[in-house]
Amino acid sequence: MLVFGCTNDDLVLKDRDLQFSSQKWKLVQMTGSVANSLTEGDDMEWQEYYIFNPDGTFIKSSERDGSLLEATGSFEMVEFDNDDADYLKLLFETGGELAGGCYGYGTETLQYISADKLQNTWMACDGPGLLYEIQKN
């Protein structure tokens, strides 16, 4: 089930207003499958961020071991029938190797937690838990 609504370049889903005006979301926390494996900031294995644009495109930038990698693609707001949560589904056009998720190369899903937090769904299939926060000007 796909639900969209647009008002003045804003995406509206259910009773939440999600403002997408070239927002930057930065990785702030990683967790692993091992207890007490939480890392934050510079202690994380890599650094990354997304920029979501009002036209439904995104840029993902990831720095690992001194190398900067970038991916681009499109995103859409989705809901799943068995879940009340809201999600962003990302489809990678370039840099598909940066997609972190359960569904293979080039696809990633992020769960909308609050107005300023997103988390990946990779942890559902033994990947790391990744928490992102919006970066305010």
In a domain, residue 2? The reply is no
Percentage with pLDDT > 70 across the chain? 82
In a domain, residue 81? The reply is yes
DSSP string, 22-36: SEEEEEEEEE-SSTT
Q: Which of 10, 9, 44 is nearest to 29 (CA)?
A: 44
3-class DSSP assignment, residue 92: strand
Spatial contact of 79 and 86, defined as CB atoms under 8 Å apart: yes
Question: Using 50, 70 and 90 to split pLDDT, how confident is the model at 131?
Answer: very high
Q: Which tens digit of pLDDT belongs to each residue from 8-52?
A: 334 444 444 455 578 999 999 999 867 678 999 999 999 999 999
In a domain, residue 30? The reply is yes
> In terms of C-beta density within 10 A (0-12 exposed, 13-18 middle, 19 or more buried), how is residue 60 classed?
buried
Percentage with pLDDT > 90 across the chain? 61
Residues 121 and 127: their CA atoms lie apart, in Å, by: 8
pLDDT value, residue 28: 97
Q: Which of 127, 137, 125, 135 is nearest to 52 (CA)?
A: 135
Query: In the beta sheet, which residues pair with residue 48?
Result: 62
The backbone torsions φ and ψ at residue 97, rounded to the nearest 5 degrees and listed phi first, read -65, -15
Spatial contact of 111 and 119, defined as CB atoms under 8 Å apart: yes
In a domain, residue 110? The reply is yes
Which of residues 134 and 105 earns the better pLDDT score? 134
In a domain, residue 17? The reply is no
pLDDT value, residue 33: 67
In a domain, residue 55? The reply is yes
In a domain, residue 18? The reply is no
We report the CATH number of the domain holding residue 102 as 2.40.128
Verdict on whether the full-model pTM lies above 0.75: yes
In a domain, residue 54? The reply is yes
3-class DSSP assignment, residue 124: helix
pLDDT value, residue 20: 54
| Count: domains in the chain | 1
pLDDT value, residue 89: 94
Q: Is the pLDDT of residue 1 over 50?
A: no
**47-52 and 57-64 strand pairing:** antiparallel
Domain that holds residue 124: 23-135
